[in-house]
Structure 1
């Protein structure tokens, strides 16, 4: 039986619906002889068919029930799918069609880079099987026989996910990007101010796009020459980020004035909203950043907001040589995650080359 790709206008529910359908398929196709408790198994089968009404924690709980019934293998699917769900919902996608090759690659890179190769392979296999299942069971226009294909292959080696250095802008490209940002245009005039503010907060704070889109007006405080941002990051962890006020003060005040004139804007506490008071999504932010990059004549493999975060982190480490500062500013759970930015420190690498030169007398940095 086929179902609408966007089973619900609410993206999180639509994604949960497909996760439930996929898990139901897996539960009914896993080796039945492993079931030791039929009552628990039937309970799991019944509860997993909610049409996406179950929240993700409830779905995880149902899988635990299935596991207790004897189907231990269900965990192999649930863990990666839970992580994928969390990742996609934080990006505030508008439709299932927004799940793309780039998104899948970034998910793999960010989520699995610290995992063992076997776990990386499992994540890749589960994700590809899940998307293939949706391709085989969805429709966009049933009467016309139209259905959606993600065409996601993740062909690059798994080692690349683990070792690849993130794309970023160098000093010259950052200047060109900021010049292009000043000339940014939008068909809706008031959105120019909003979009410029959005991009500047990302590039001057290094915050994740989900964190910036989730900012509330009362999360921002002006303290003399700085703005303080109270950010809610991964795992609902709070952190504070500072930014020089000169970068965004005028844009912020102008946007707040424009925002106040949007009908019913007081109903939303979010800083960034649309003309209909809905929250902006990551797909829109990606298009804005990509447009600015194109106008600046900059081409990167990854053209989205996350690339700006990498650019911020690279520049921060280059100027500070302080991994702990990078970790705390970016909200990394471990300093090991931040360590990748040391690979861009060419001065340090040249210093290392000098140290092994037999004719060099250098023993320490001066």
Structure 2
């Protein structure tokens, strides 16, 4: 059979998606691109017809794509296109679907970006000569001090702060509450903010409010953080998650206590916390040298 057999089969399938399911041109293009990639691979190994392709060929194609740098998401989409194509063919009388039961490799989780301590200090050195500056300073200090999620910070009310013990109670995912320590810089910034908060008549007990007295929303905080990262001459736009990750990274690098960081971040599973860890090799090597009884990695002349 010639190469046109694959092309004709793909054309018929795409035509049905267009006329019967009325999919968008963009979706049709994605289906066609995925199927033609598979057809090209099959032709390269002398598989000239859809009925001749086996599960082993699909696995080999997925592996080849993965080695060439295709992401797990891209491969999953390609397999989905193949399964749909062969499902269409079974409705036309075929009993063959070699893509069933084949999973794509998972993409490696991308580590969130973190700021080093100097960059955090640069970001937090903002102008506080008005109430907005004082509010924003308190927001940034609290973010970094306690490793908050954006939704947690937005939900804080004044009575959630225990000034005596310098603790903050927040409600995280799954409506679970946890208490977090507040650092002295954040305490000072919060006190300075609360001293001027009444200049704008608050609508409720929200800790952070806008110029109309309403609770400050997530989008507003994101934009304020972006603004300050630009004003402070940062070489990147800083978002709330970067401050949370910076908190986790700096805590872990200083303490090495993954369980404690897990509790502070409010993660149900420690595997989630591990995504936030990216200790550099030098730090790991120092810990190893200091802790392992048989490390002996100090410079010694070999015998």
Task: Please name the residue that 1:209 is paired with.
Answer: 150
Shift of 1:175: 2.4
Correspondence 1:38-77 to 2 at 5 A: none
Task: Please name the residue that 2:213 is paired with.
Answer: 277
Task: Please name the residue that 1:218 is paired with.
Answer: 159
Task: Please name the residue that 1:326 is paired with.
Answer: 261
Q: Does 1:337 align with 2:276?
A: no
Q: Are residues 247 and 351 of structure 1, via their aligned partners in 2, closer, same or farther at CA, if it must alter by over 3 Å?
A: closer
Task: Please name the residue that 1:304 is paired with.
Answer: 239
Q: Are residues 321 and 353 of structure 1, via their aligned partners in 2, closer, same or farther at CA, if it must alter by over 3 Å?
A: closer
Shift of 1:257: 3.2
Shift of 1:282: 1.8
Is the partner of 1:195 in helix, strand or coil?
A: helix
Contact 2:166 2:182 (C-alpha < 8 Å) held by counterparts: yes
Between the two proteins, the alignment pairs up a number of residues equal to 199
Shift of 1:281: 1.6
Q: Are residues 293 and 121 of structure 1, via their aligned partners in 2, closer, same or farther at CA, if it must alter by over 3 Å?
A: farther
Match of 1:165 among 93, 111, 119: 111
Q: Are residues 329 and 158 of structure 1, via their aligned partners in 2, closer, same or farther at CA, if it must alter by over 3 Å?
A: farther
Query: Which stretches in structure 2 are left out of the alignment for 5+ residues?
Result: 1-20, 22-71, 81-103, 290-294, 299-303
RMSD over aligned Cα atoms: 3.2
Counterpart CA distance in 1 for 2:117 and 2:192 is 28
Q: Are residues 211 and 337 of structure 1, via their aligned partners in 2, closer, same or farther at CA, if it must alter by over 3 Å?
A: same
Counterpart CA distance in 1 for 2:242 and 2:218 is 13
Q: What TM-score results when the alignment is normalised by the length of structure 2?
A: 0.57
Task: Please name the residue that 1:262 is paired with.
Answer: 200
Contact 1:184 1:292 (C-alpha < 8 Å) held by counterparts: no
Shift of 1:158: 9.2
Counterpart CA distance in 2 for 1:200 and 1:352 is 29
Task: Please name the residue that 1:25 is paired with.
Answer: none
Q: Does 1:346 align with 2:250?
A: no
Q: Are residues 298 and 257 of structure 1, via their aligned partners in 2, closer, same or farther at CA, if it must alter by over 3 Å?
A: closer
Task: Please name the residue that 1:239 is paired with.
Answer: 178
Q: Are residues 353 and 164 of structure 1, via their aligned partners in 2, closer, same or farther at CA, if it must alter by over 3 Å?
A: farther
Q: What TM-score results when the alignment is normalised by the length of structure 1?
A: 0.48
Q: Are residues 276 and 175 of structure 1, via their aligned partners in 2, closer, same or farther at CA, if it must alter by over 3 Å?
A: closer
Q: Are residues 236 and 121 of structure 1, via their aligned partners in 2, closer, same or farther at CA, if it must alter by over 3 Å?
A: farther
